[in-house]
A and B are shown apart, each in its own frame.
Chain A
């Protein structure tokens, strides 16, 4: 199993989510993140004083998939998150040791299986 952690622009999230759902990966999490990279901070002006904000808001997207599905997810992120400008973000792929579904307590690869049609809310 692999965990894909991607730091992306806010506006890239919705197309990525739509494509992943379409390809059968509805399970994902996002976290509002702030970070710095090559993209510069912004200078806020407030009643005559300035404040340089060195970290910029990004979305951290987390998806855990079986090893064989990793490339599908990575490609979807690359396709939608790339604008070519500094600040598009980065993708990290990490190994995952265990996965357990809390509702049922089942573990292993089955946790990452596609949902049955009837389980997916319309």
Chain B
């Protein structure tokens, strides 16, 4: 009886997946115009680049971990991305983009609208504004949510319980991120009433993620051995700088979907300009971070070069659609300086293994504020959000709007995240035991090692075969019975 049920359940699940597909096929979900098809094409390509950023975060975080925690990072990224996929589709997207309410959207739960713009336009206004497939729009917005969630966890490496990921991921991707992104991206009050400019999410994605991380870190505490008895920070070197480097470059690549994709269309070629702006800022971030670090410590710090790249990219995320080329290196370079001083200052008080608070938080704040300085009149008009920045207008108005947006986003996310993590800490617990932390999360939380050969003896290649000789049989005079190791002799 039980066995029959076990077979019936998957069959029912598969059937439920297939049936709506047939129903949709009958509706012929065709995009009405060639423009809409081209836009969908670009936005899906960009979304896939952003999805690939998960690999970048994975490698960055694994590289900054010690070898005994390498596997834990892999499990975390896969599980978090999957939870966010389901929750954002079911609930999050509707709250973020299902209508133009001031606080949250109301349409599109368990989204099932196919690709027809006409059909979806009434409940998801943006698809009509941008003439884009609702499916492409939803997927693009979802991968942003997944990036923001991933940022939270880099700071909590090597000591947080896996259960905390799961609980926070559900709330974050279903409610917290969608509501904040509605305020700033989705036609909510910060975008429409305040005129806050955030093209691709320096605040929405990066500052929100870093704020969640900040709340978690305050409750979580530093790794064992991070601080000496007199409170001085000690280095806990990550186990692989090559993985960190690969992670940074994958994130850098992903950002060419992140910012340019936020044009939400390919018509007019605006996205190409955004690519250039994005790259200029990232490059300036690396150069500035490396230079400052060299002046301070006389070393070319590898990890800090990576942080400089991320900081430059994070900072240019908000202004990437609002500023001209010349402003991009300035924004990136300042971000590179901010991240170095940020890491050095935060390191004294809070243990943030990857520098997320600086690279995503401080650089995110700077990037958002930089719109208020550098936004050009041409692009403010084009995006129809806010006013030109201080440089052009001589007015602090836009800078004030940006500052208000940053303050609101930080305060709301911090309070909500602190409450969630506090509840987790009081119930299932936020942190593994000291013994589990010492042993490493790979074995204590996941029951296996990321690099098993370091811990488990391995057999060598069979005796003698390396030289092409078969092992010799034991001499007849042997006083002991010998069993040959290989069967071929």
Contact = CB atoms under 8 A, between A and B. Distances in A.
Contacts of A119: 472
Contact of A47 (B304, B472, B478): B304
Given A45-B301, A48-B304, A51-B237, A122 B467 contact: yes
A51 B474 contact: no
A51 B238 CA distance: 12
Contact of B478 (A49, A50, A106, A122): A106
B464 A121 contact: yes
B474 A47 contact: no
27 contacts: A45-B297, A45-B299, A45-B301, A47-B235, A47-B304, A47-B343, A47-B347, A47-B355, A48-B301, A48-B304, A48-B340, A48-B343, A48-B344, A48-B347, A50-B234, A50-B235, A51-B234, A103-B474, A104-B480, A105-B479, A105-B480, A105-B482, A106-B479, A119-B472, A121-B464, A121-B467, A122-B467
A17 B262 CA distance: 63
The contact size tier of chain B is: 20 to 34
Contacts of A122: 467
Contacts of A51: 234-237
Interface string B226-252: 000000011111000000000000000
Contacts of B234: 49-51
Contacts of A103: 474, 482
B474 A49 contact: no
B223 to A, nearest CB: 12
Contacts of B464: 121
Contacts of A44: 235, 237
Interface class of chain B by DSSP: loop
B479 to A, nearest CB: 5
B235 A49 contact: yes
Contacts of B296: 48
B297 A104 contact: no
B301 A104 contact: no
Given A46-B301, A47-B307, A48-B347, 9 more contacts: A45-B297, A45-B299, A45-B301, A46-B236, A47-B235, A48-B304, A49-B233, A51-B237, A119-B472
A103 B479 CA distance: 10
Contacts of A49: 233-235, 347
A105 to B, nearest CB: 3
Interface string B271-312: 000000000000000000000010011010101100100000
Contacts of A46: 235-237, 301, 303
B478 A45 contact: no
B479 A47 contact: no
A48 to B, nearest CB: 4
Contacts of B303: 46-47
Interface string B318-358: 00000000000000000000001001100100000001000
Contacts of B21: none
A106 B234 CA distance: 53
B231 to A, nearest CB: 13
Interface residues of A, number: 15
B16 interface: no
Contact of A104 (B233, B236, B475): B475
Nearest to B306: A47
Between A45, A46, A48, A51, the greatest number of chain B beta carbons within 10 A of the residue's beta carbon is seen for A48
A49 B347 CA distance: 8
A105 B480 CA distance: 5
A81 B482 CA distance: 39
A105 B236 CA distance: 48
B478 A121 contact: no
Nearest to B353: A47
Interface string A102-113: 011110000000
A109 to B, nearest CB: 16
Contacts of A105: 478-480, 482
Interface in A47-61: 47-51
A18 B307 CA distance: 47
Nearest to B232: A49
Contacts of A121: 464, 467, 469
A51 B475 CA distance: 55
Contacts of B355: 47
B459 to A, nearest CB: 16
A106 B303 CA distance: 56
Nearest to A105: B480
Contacts of B301: 45-48
Nearest to A121: B467
Nearest to B479: A105
B398 to A, nearest CB: 34
Going nearest first, the 7 A-B pairs with the smallest beta carbon separation are: A105-B480, A46-B235, A51-B235, A49-B235, A47-B303, A48-B344, A121-B467
